[in-house]
């Protein structure tokens, strides 16, 4: 009976406190209202109507408008609240402390059984939830704290009831926690509080752990997660809180991790279907959101898109049958490429286009790696990277973006190192590694030439330098091909192969140097000079010790003659100065 009376007194105190606050607020508003003097009112009755109107207008203009006192901020507002009716607040605080001691004493002496304790916890959580909902009408931030606190109290009470007293079944405990998280999500939508929406998804994600199920039913768990994800999508559609989708993706990924790394045994084939469903939901939600943005901040959607791609790729690679992995990856690659095109055409979002296209290319690369290996894989990667750069340039006409996409060629370049060092060059010229280098060379020269005009029309020195770097990289692969091919053709006479290679390098270097000097193209001149320095350094450091004396003499003579010929090439004949004639 004492416990019931305490609750009644507490409720009465809260009611009195609310009424007292309303009365004080009304008194303040009455005091701030302006009072019209009686003399002016009586005088206005003796004047004609026109004069009364004029006087009234003048009085209204002359009357000062009362200004509200500045509201105290932060700590000052709390101090003002504490000073107002402080005896009532002090009594309420002491009563709450006494109630806490009473509850503790009752638990220690077993006055309240397990059912009573659980009911008390759930009731307290519901009371805090209701208080938070009511408080959010005036103070959204404070009310949000109470809502999350009340929901947490309910979840922890349910966990204690399930773990210590076996009071609920796992399904009923999970259902109660889910309903609580739905209430939090509803509050976030009604009061436009994004943080509450994210908290609701997080609370729903904690529910399966707190439900304390004795067995691991991952199929049932993934059904529950699918419901949570659909609820998150509903929030996104209702209020546009796109970060909620990211939270749901993180939640699903965390629950998938134990299955993917092998810590938990489950039916991966069935769970893979759920993974496809999750991926499709996230993909559709993100793409639809990006189509509606049209210039808004797309960072949450882009983060979710990248995370969704990684999530799907992990499930496909670790759970899908090996013989179908490439087909599945190709299907998802097509979906992301189509999404990239739609988003760019409808909303003009270049960032979305780049990310979706990169995801599509990544899936194609993964599918290629599943099916191919060795030199064939390098060739396929080279052609895919070239296709990406060409298509991107064709869609956007942005040469800088197309040049950045050529960074994808770093992968094939790394894979080409074994082709350069392969021993097959000593057996035959037209081997698989020859075509690896040939395709890389043609790709770099082809894209550099295709971008040449647009790069120079852009007027950007950075874009022009990047295009020059592409062409220089292509020439580097061409020089490597020449070196390896000549050594493959002349296996019995390596000095001859070195001599021909160095002569070709010298001719190219001289042409580049003279062309750059003649047309004031510093980059080309530096390139030619660097190539000539390399040839001379190779002769003086390496070949002077390794070549036979005959080959050394011929090589030094030919290279020296070519270098001396520059004295007669590229020179502009100076016109003789015209001396004016003077009449004597």
pLDDT in tens, 111-145: 777 888 888 888 888 998 998 899 888 888 878 88
Task: Check if the beta carbon of residue 275 is closer than 8 Å to that of residue 310.
Answer: no
The whole-number pLDDT of residue 145 equals 85
Q: CB–CB of 504/478 below 8 Å?
A: no
Distances (CA, A) of 122 to 97, 151, 157, 342: 20, 9, 6, 49
Could you give the CA distance from residue 432 to residue 482 in angstroms, rounded to a whole number? Answer: 16
Cα–Cα dist 390/397, whole Å: 10
- What is the mean predicted confidence (pLDDT) over 460-479? 92
What is the mean pLDDT of the segment spanning 250-263?
92
C-alpha 250/C-alpha 256 separation (Å) is 10
Mean pLDDT value across the chain: 81
Q: How far apart are CA 174 and CA 27, in angstroms?
A: 50
Query: In terms of Cα–Cα distance, which of 506, 472, 483, 469 is closest to 434?
Result: 483
Sign of CA dihedral 104, 108, 114, 116: negative
Q: Flag whether pLDDT at 580 surpasses 60.
A: no
List pLDDT tens digits, range 347-406.
Answer: 777 788 888 888 988 899 899 988 888 889 999 999 999 998 998 888 888 899 899 889
Provide the pLDDT confidence category of residue 560 given band limits of 50, 70 and 90: confident
- Between 442 and 567, whose confidence is greater? 442
Please say whether the beta carbons of 258 and 208 come within 8 A.
Answer: no
Radius of gyration of the chain (CA): 40
Q: How large a percentage of the chain has pLDDT more than 90?
A: 36
Confidence tier at 298 by pLDDT (50, 70, 90): confident
In our burial notation (b when 16+ CB lie closer than 10 A, e otherwise), range 478-516 reads bbbbbbbbbbbeeeeeebbbbbbbbbbbbebbbebbbeb
pTM for this predicted structure: 0.68
The per-residue b/e assignment along 432-463, b for 16 or more CB within 10 angstroms, e otherwise, is ebbebbbbbbebbbebbebbbebbeebeeeeb
Each residue's pLDDT tens digit, 20-70: 556 566 666 676 665 544 444 444 444 444 444 444 444 444 444 444 445
Q: Where are the chain's structural domains?
A: 1-25+86-105, 495-566
173, burial (CB in 10 Å: exposed 0-12, middle 13-18, buried 19+): buried
Name the strand (E) or helix (H) holding 540: none
Q: Which candidate, 409, 484, 483, 492, places its Cα nearest to that of 444?
A: 409
- Percent of the chain residues topping a pLDDT of 70: 79
The DSSP result for 278-323, as a single string, is HHHHHHHHHHHHHHHHSSS--HHHHHHHHHHHHHHHHHHHHHS-HH
**Confidence (pLDDT) at 38:** 46
Cβ neighbours of residue 550 closer than 8 Å, sequence gap 6 or more: 495
């Amino acid at each position: 009976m004492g416990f019931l009376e305490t609750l009644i007194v507490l409720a009465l105190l809260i009611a009195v406190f609310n009424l007292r606050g309303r009365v004080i607020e009304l008194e303040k508003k009455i005091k701030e209202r302006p009072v019209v003097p009686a003399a002016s009112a009586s005088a206005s009755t003796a004047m004609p109507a026109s004069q009364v109107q004029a006087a009234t207008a003048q009085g209204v203009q002359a009357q000062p408008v009362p200004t509200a006192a500045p509201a105290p901020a932060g700590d000052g507002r709390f101090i003002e609240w504490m000073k107002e009716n402080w005896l009532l607040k002090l009594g309420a605080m002491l009563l709450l402390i006494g109630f806490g001691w009473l509850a503790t004493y009752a638990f220690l002496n077993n006055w309240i059984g397990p059912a009573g304790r659980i009911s008390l916890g759930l009731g307290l959580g519901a009371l805090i939830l209701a208080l938070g909902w009511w408080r959010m009408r005036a103070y959204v931030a404070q009310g949000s704290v109470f809502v999350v606190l009340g929901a947490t109290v309910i979840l922890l009470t349910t966990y204690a009831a399930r773990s210590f007293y076996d009071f609920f079944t796992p399904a009923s405990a999970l259902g109660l926690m889910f309903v609580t998280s739905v209430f939090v999500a509803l509050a976030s939508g009604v009061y436009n509080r994004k943080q509450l929406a994210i908290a609701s998804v997080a609370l729903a994600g904690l529910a399966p752990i707190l439900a304390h199920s004795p067995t691991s039913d991952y199929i049932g768990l993934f059904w529950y997660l699918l419901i949570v994800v659909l609820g998150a999508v509903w929030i996104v559609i209702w209020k546009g809180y796109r970060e909620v989708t990211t939270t749901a993706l993180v939640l699903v990924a965390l629950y998938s991790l134990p299955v993917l790394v092998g810590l938990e045994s489950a039916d991966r084939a069935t769970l893979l279907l759920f993974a496809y469903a999750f991926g499709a939901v996230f993909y559709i939600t993100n793409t639809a959101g990006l189509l509606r943005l049209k210039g808004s901040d797309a960072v949450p959607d882009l983060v979710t898109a990248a995370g969704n791609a990684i999530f799907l790729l992990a499930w496909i690679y670790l759970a899908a049958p090996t013989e179908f992995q490439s087909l599945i990856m190709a299907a998802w690659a097509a979906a992301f490429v189509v999404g990239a095109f739609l988003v760019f055409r409808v909303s003009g979002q270049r960032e979305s286009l780049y990310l979706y296209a990169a995801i599509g290319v990544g899936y194609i690369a993964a599918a290629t790696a599943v099916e191919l290996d060795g030199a064939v894989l390098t060739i396929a990667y080279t052609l895919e990277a070239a296709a990406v750069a060409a298509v991107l340039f064709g869609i956007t006409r942005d040469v800088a973006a197309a040049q950045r996409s050529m960074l994808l060629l770093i992968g094939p370049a790394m894979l080409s190192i074994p082709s350069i060092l392969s021993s097959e060059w000593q057996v035959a010229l037209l081997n698989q590694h020859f075509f690896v280098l040939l395709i890389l060379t043609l790709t770099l020269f082809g894209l550099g030439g295709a971008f040449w005009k647009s790069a120079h029309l852009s007027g950007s020195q950075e874009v022009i330098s990047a295009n020059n770097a592409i062409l220089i990289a292509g020439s580097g692969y061409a020089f490597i091909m020449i070196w390896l091919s000549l050594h493959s053709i002349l296996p019995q006479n390596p000095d001859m192969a070195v001599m021909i290679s160095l002569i070709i390098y010298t001719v190219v270097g001289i042409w580049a140097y003279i062309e750059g000097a003649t047309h004031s193209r510093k980059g080309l001149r530096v390139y030619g000079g660097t190539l000539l320095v390399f040839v001379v350094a190779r002769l003086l450091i390496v070949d002077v010790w390794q070549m036979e004396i005959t080959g050394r003499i011929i090589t030094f003579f030919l290279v020296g003659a070519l270098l001396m010929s520059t004295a007669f090439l590229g020179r502009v004949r100076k016109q003789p100065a015209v001396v004016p004639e003077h009449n004597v």
